[in-house]
Structure 1
Amino acid sequence: MWFPSSRGPSSPPSQDAPKLVMELIDPFTWTWDINVLQRYFTPADIDLILTIPLSRSATSNQQIWHFNKRGFFTTNSAYYVAKDLALGLVLAPKPPVDPLRVVWKKVWSAKVPGKVALHAWRIMGNILPTRIGLSTKGYNGELGCVFCNHPHEDSLHLFVNCPYAKEVWNRAGIPMLGAASTTIQEWFTGVVNRFTKEELCKILMLIWGIWKSRNSQVWEQQGRHASETCFLTLGWYEEFKKHTASSLVRQARSIRWKAPNPGKVKINVDGAYQVASRRGGVGCVIRASDGSFVAGQARPYTLLTSPFHAELLALRDGLFLAQTLQQNEVIFEIDCALLVQAIQSPTYDLSTMHILIGEVRTLLQTHPGFSLTHVNREANVVAHLLASHALRTSDSQMWLVTAPEIIRDAIRNDVIVI
């Protein structure tokens, strides 16, 4: 099956439809022939076909197993396909999205200490050892709130409805939701949808602070006023931010772009991808052994399938750029470790990207002076700026003869952008 879907094309084949995939490709530009595609396929099918990469070099036909990410048949993947077939799941619609998915994502990406994010995760998973929570596991002691003597201490009461919690939120200047919430998950969903990232960080910290004060009261009989809990917790948060900021500065100073040895040039490449539009942008920049700008390229792409696809095109374009400018001693750098592993892997790849991967491997192998290296993102700033610029532009291609404004300062100072 050449079509990138287990269901195959939705377009019914006509009597004069091409019998070979080759007939759908323009032999001069070696790109998909839009006119032919529009004659035989629906717009939805055309969008899928256009995502299939084409190589400039001829490749032989291969049998590919659609249900393995590398295209190989394995007994393990076959077992799961057979199991899904038995359950009628192979062609079934996707299961509904977890309603708390947005909450999980925002909590785990919040810039707070790990133990604070973990604490929020325990609350949303109903595994925080509140007195009501413990009662479901055999605990038969006191069930009331340690702050206000409410008969039931659960997460919703402790962090939202308790007068102690309300005083904490009031002291912090955060107008809280909660009156209409029936579960702590519902309350958390409202919080992440209403508040900014910075406000969410403060809320997560204060929830953790309330829990610490509650534990001090339970285990040490040391009560703490709500205002003290608020000010101490926000003070800890400010110290955490200062420490994190200084660590990032130290990291930025330690990770920099390094010039190649004399006689070589370095080409940094990067890809950018936008999920909603499936647009991509690639950036390539060549610099000499003294760090000076030699040439660069920014180019947009349409109908990409993933960030990996964009990174792969960026590396291929960097190789083409080196060939065009007759650069024979080149170090290629990219910040996508997965791509470097795929290119340097000794095993063959039959995934949907295998044609591009094979082309890149061939280009590297046929040029003894070419080498590929993975670098940290902080050492790939200039290529990233070019890729981001390409993602926003509508031009088909842009060659940069001299360093443009968007990257001049980055090239001059090798500024680390985080």
Structure 2
Amino acid sequence: MVEGIKWRVGNGRDIRIWGTTWIAGSSSGRVLTANQEQQGLMVVADLMIEDPQRRWNEQLIKATFVDSEAQAIMNTPLSWSGLRDKLMWRWCPNGFFTVKSFYKQLQLESLTSEPGTSVSYPWKKIWKLQVSNKVIYFMYRAVNNTLPCKRNLVRRGVMLHDGCVSCDAMLPESLDHIFLHYEWVQRVWFAAFNLRSSAIPSFRLWISEMLLGENTDLVQQIVMLIWAIWKRRNDLTFKDKGVEITDLISMANTFLADWLTVANTGQQGHGNHQDSRPCDREEGWKRPEDGMLKMNVDEGWSGVAGQGLGMVIRDHHGECMFAATNFLRTRLDPLVAEATAIRWAMGEALKLDINSIVLETDSMEFYSCFWNKKQNLLLDTLLLDCTNMASQFSSFNLVHVKREGNKVAHLLASLAVDFPNKCWWDNFPSAVNSALLADVFSVVAY
């Protein structure tokens, strides 16, 4: 039970750097680098710089910790408002202890200890999947941890380095890493199902939970995407051939739809088996009410280089009043990156002395957490900062918008790697001008 307790970093003054669990995005949550307390590094606050907005001392951290650990520390969100450090339950999304979450963790340990001998695993559900036989056999090997990833090959005595060649941090290439935790694959799951795969501790247990659920269509889509991810991994390893995220998702859905069409030929309603996830109808940007300003915010991943943030403020005519980018040399969880972008944009709006604003985000999860006051272990500090800043506006509204209505902010985020930490009041980059004009010509009033 002690292993489930984790510190939420606030001001860092109550958390010892060594011997406690506090690092976000790390499987253990603990620092493994040799103890440096004799150098005066005692508590987490010693790793921070307290200028107007608290931030990590990147130079000190990179000089003190191994690369992967330094990156994980710098990916841990910090509060701008000086919150106290807080103990939370790491195995529940809201940070609170429940008997159910503790029991699930005990299940995880029993399921992952000896994959080949577990009799409680829902094997029959795998054999009954409505996918091709080769994909069923592939999934059987995947949950048994017998696919030839580098970690498994080394365990079998093959002499090679087990680091993931696709991962900048060169973390061990396990199946959990390939299917859930590698930065690129996190983007795949977020784009396909709005799923934060970095929060899933075990591939094997996750598949078990999915199989025991009632949404068989969703399970089949997920299984096909897992197969596509493995195919992409092999193409990249042996052919040096990659694929875009949207193309990968499309390929998985197409293969599943084609197989179901063939398998159900002659049966009524066979076409109904194609991708059954609800498909939102895309809508363009909408202008705010007269006299109001609207701010669109988004984040964009720039590969190993880091993360881009983008924001744009427009009036009720669709005229762009301000645009900005911010570039972070980190690799954040997609939801954390969205929340970081929103916090940054709200701070910029306050600096501009804007009193009333409508903020649009395409992150439904952040939107729900903000308005429903839902506790979230991953977003806790960022949500509290955003809530505090929202109270500083005379009028503030957070609105969820479909991706089609957030194109300019997304474009700015993608440009952040080339235009880091830039602000524009006019003379916007040509691509941004084109996107702004496209929104104006398709603009809809509330």
TM, length-normalised to structure 2: 0.57
Please give the per-residue CA displacement for 1:325-357, whole angstroms capped at 9, x wherever unaligned.
1111111111111111111123444x1331111
Query: Is the counterpart of residue 23 in structure 1 residue 102 in structure 2?
Result: no
Distance 1:209 1:59, change over 3 A: closer
1:382 and 1:411 in contact (8 A); partners too: yes
Output the amino acid matched with 2:43: L
Deviation at 1:48, TM superposition (A): 0.9
2: CA distance, partners of 1:60 / 1:199: 47
2:288 and 2:294 in contact (8 A); partners too: yes
Deviation at 1:208, TM superposition (A): 6.6
2: CA distance, partners of 1:71 / 1:212: 45
Query: Is the counterpart of residue 11 in structure 1 residue 33 in structure 2?
Result: yes
Output the amino acid matched with 1:96: L
2:311 and 2:324 in contact (8 A); partners too: yes
Distance 1:9 1:80, change over 3 A: same
Distance 1:260 1:47, change over 3 A: same
Q: Which moved more, 1:257-266 or 1:340-349?
A: 340-349
Q: Name the counterpart of 1:332.
A: 359
Query: Is the counterpart of residue 77 in structure 1 residue 101 in structure 2?
Result: yes
The aligned runs of 1:204-243 (5 Å cut-off) are 215=266
Distance 1:18 1:410, change over 3 A: same
Deviation at 1:67, TM superposition (A): 1.8
Query: Is the counterpart of residue 304 in structure 1 residue 327 in structure 2?
Result: no
Please give the per-residue CA displacement for 1:133-160, whole angstroms capped at 9, x wherever unaligned.
xxxxxxxxxxxxxxxxxxxxxxxxxxxx
Deviation at 1:189, TM superposition (A): 6.6
Q: Name the counterpart of 1:62.
A: 86
1:52 and 1:352 in contact (8 A); partners too: no
1:17 and 1:40 in contact (8 A); partners too: no
Query: Is the counterpart of residue 264 in structure 1 residue 295 in structure 2?
Result: no
Output the amino acid matched with 2:423: W
Deviation at 1:379, TM superposition (A): 1.4
Distance 1:325 1:278, change over 3 A: same
Please give the per-residue CA displacement for 1:250-273, whole angstroms capped at 9, x wherever unaligned.
x56xx2322212221111111112
Distance 1:39 1:259, change over 3 A: closer
Output the amino acid matched with 1:57: S
Distance 1:25 1:346, change over 3 A: same
Q: Name the counterpart of 1:286.
A: 313
Query: Is the counterpart of residue 385 in structure 1 residue 405 in structure 2?
Result: no
2:287 and 2:318 in contact (8 A); partners too: yes
Query: What is the total number of aligned residue pairs between the two structures?
Result: 305
Distance 1:72 1:258, change over 3 A: same
2: CA distance, partners of 1:17 / 1:322: 38
2: CA distance, partners of 1:100 / 1:320: 36
2:362 and 2:406 in contact (8 A); partners too: yes
For the residue of structure 1 that corresponds to 2:304, the secondary structure is coil
Output the aligned Cα RMSD: 4.4
For the residue of structure 2 that corresponds to 1:286, the secondary structure is strand
Deviation at 1:360, TM superposition (A): 0.6
2: CA distance, partners of 1:331 / 1:385: 20
Output the amino acid matched with 1:329: S
Output the amino acid matched with 2:409: A
1: CA distance, partners of 2:404 / 2:74: 33
Structure 1 gap ranges (5+): 110-117, 126-184, 220-235, 241-246
1:273 and 1:306 in contact (8 A); partners too: no
2:298 and 2:409 in contact (8 A); partners too: yes
Structure 2 gap ranges (5+): 1-20, 115-144, 146-150, 152-172, 193-216, 236-240
Query: Is the counterpart of residue 53 in structure 1 residue 81 in structure 2?
Result: no
The aligned runs of 1:77-96 (5 Å cut-off) are 77-85=101-109, 89=113, 96=175
2:336 and 2:378 in contact (8 A); partners too: no
Output the amino acid matched with 1:383: A
Q: Name the counterpart of 2:65.
A: 41
Of 319, 322, 329 in structure 2, the residue corresponding to residue 295 of structure 1 is 322
Of 382, 393, 401 in structure 1, the residue corresponding to residue 425 of structure 2 is 401
Please give the per-residue CA displacement for 1:93-139, whole angstroms capped at 9, x wherever unaligned.
9973699999xx99xx8xxxxxxxx8xx69x99xxxxxxxxxxxxxx
Deviation at 1:361, TM superposition (A): 1.1
1: CA distance, partners of 2:379 / 2:255: 43
2: CA distance, partners of 1:85 / 1:288: 54
Identity of aligned residues (%): 22
2:296 and 2:313 in contact (8 A); partners too: yes
2: CA distance, partners of 1:18 / 1:202: 54
TM, length-normalised to structure 1: 0.61
Q: Name the counterpart of 1:317.
A: 344
2:362 and 2:402 in contact (8 A); partners too: yes
Output the amino acid matched with 1:405: S
Deviation at 1:10, TM superposition (A): 0.9
Output the amino acid matched with 1:266: K
